[in-house]
């Protein structure tokens, strides 16, 4: 029997606005894919990101463009040439991983030769607000092992200091989302050191980050928007020491695994990140998280209602989804 592929848009409301340097999000727009082969169905999810020129319509159109090939049996390796990196390929790739696991009776972890995903410390995000509001937010989760602070170029020093004072023991990741230039980063160096920041994520705009070559930020610097797939790594030399692997950027678990391995081979640290999306996006990413130095997979925790059986937060420790949710035997 020939496969079938369906794709649909879902708008998932957030319980709290998600503010970063480039705007505010009140709902997560995702595209879900289901691939059926006989009685077996595999699922995947992608989160279109306007920063990368994506929309729900463009992602659905890309998926429609490969529907016949996938239904005729195109596999994950074929997708790497049939589709560009991005949310569309992520949704289809992850659906194929899930389908293979269910059809074979062999879980994704077993296929990879890795342990099944377990509990893992994952950053809880403190979004941009006044320093006082960010301190209150941090105080509520000060027990968490890792906090991620969203800032811009307006008053990052006060925001970072406020969060550190409210959460004295948490490891801190600071994420300006491309909003800093060299002058701001230079001025912030002492603040980052004094606040014991563990990681500075993508301070400069991708494509305008050459000044990071040889720049001493005082703390490790992580590439996010500047790296999507393994082929991007050569351009990062001397600028970044860590790379943020996101399935929606890489275009699925297959390419994300390649990126993580290639980063390690170059001596770079690895972070696993996500878009604001449901647990269907996070379950595949857990297979990268298990070999990462930093994990930031709290996207579903911003949803007013996640998918049944999805991941759960336990004081800043992410609990894996229920058995059979995604990628199980």
pLDDT tens for 253-273 read: 999 999 999 999 999 999 999
pLDDT of 58 reads 98
Kindly state the average pLDDT of the residues 14-40: 95
Question: Tokens 């800032």 map to which residue?
Answer: 151
Question: Are both 143 and 228 inside the same structural domain?
Answer: yes
Asked whether residue 329 carries a pLDDT value surpassing 80, the answer given is no
pLDDT tens string 195-234: 999 999 999 999 999 999 999 999 999 999 999 999 999 9
Model pTM?
Answer: 0.96
d(CA 96, CA 118): 22
Task: Give the domain-ending residue among 60, 81, 105.
Answer: 105
Q: What's the distance, CA 69 to chain centroid?
A: 28
Q: Give the domain range for residue 305.
A: 120-319
Widest pairwise Cα distance in the chain: 63
Residue 91 maps to a domain = yes
What CATH number corresponds to the domain at position 192?
Answer: 3.20.20.120
The token duo for 221 is: 């610097």
Cβ-proximal residues to 186 (8 Å cutoff; 6+ apart), any chain: none
Task: Give the domain-ending residue among 77, 105, 133.
Answer: 105
246 is catalytic: yes
The token duo for 213 is: 């070559």
Question: Are both 179 and 233 inside the same structural domain?
Answer: yes
CB 239 within 8 A of CB 219: no
For 234, which DSSP code? G
Length of the chain: 329
């Amino acid at each position: 029997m020939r496969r079938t592929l369906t794709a649909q848009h879902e708008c998932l409301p957030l319980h709290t606005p998600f503010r970063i340097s480039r705007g505010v999000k009140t709902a997560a727009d995702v595209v879900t894919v289901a691939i059926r082969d006989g009685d077996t169905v595999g699922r995947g999810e992608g989160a279109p990101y306007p920063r990368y020129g994506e929309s729900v319509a463009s992602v659905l159109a890309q998926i429609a463009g490969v529907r016949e090939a996938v239904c005729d049996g195109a596999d994950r390796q074929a997708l790497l040439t049939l589709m560009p990196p991005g949310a569309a390929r992520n949704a289809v790739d992850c659906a194929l991983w899930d389908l293979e696991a269910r059809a074979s009776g062999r879980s994704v972890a077993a296929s990879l030769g890795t342990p099944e995903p377990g509990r893992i410390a994952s950053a809880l995000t403190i979004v941009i607000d006044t320093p006082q509001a960010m301190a209150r937010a941090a105080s509520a989760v000060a027990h968490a092992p890792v906090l991620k602070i969203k800032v811009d170029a307006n008053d990052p020093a006060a925001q970072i200091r406020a969060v550190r004072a409210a959460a004295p023991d948490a490891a801190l990741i600071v994420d300006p989302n491309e909003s800093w230039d060299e002058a701001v980063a230079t001025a912030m160096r002492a603040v980052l050191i004094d606040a014991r920041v563990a990681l500075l994520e993508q301070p400069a705009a991708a494509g305008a980050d050459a000044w990071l070559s040889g720049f001493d930020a005082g703390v490790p610097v992580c590439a996010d928007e500047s790296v999507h797939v393994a082929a991007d790594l050569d351009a990062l030399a001397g600028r970044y020491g860590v790379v943020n692997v996101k399935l929606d950027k890489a275009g699925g678990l297959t390419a994300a695994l390649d990126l993580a391995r290639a980063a390690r081979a170059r001596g770079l640290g690895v972070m696993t990140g996500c878009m604001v999306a449901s647990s269907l996006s996070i379950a595949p990413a857990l297979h990268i998280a298990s070999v990462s130095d930093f994990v930031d997979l709290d996207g579903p925790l911003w949803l007013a209602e996640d998918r049944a059986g999805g991941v759960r937060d336990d004081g800043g420790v992410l609990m894996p989804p229920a058995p059979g949710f995604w990628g199980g035997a």
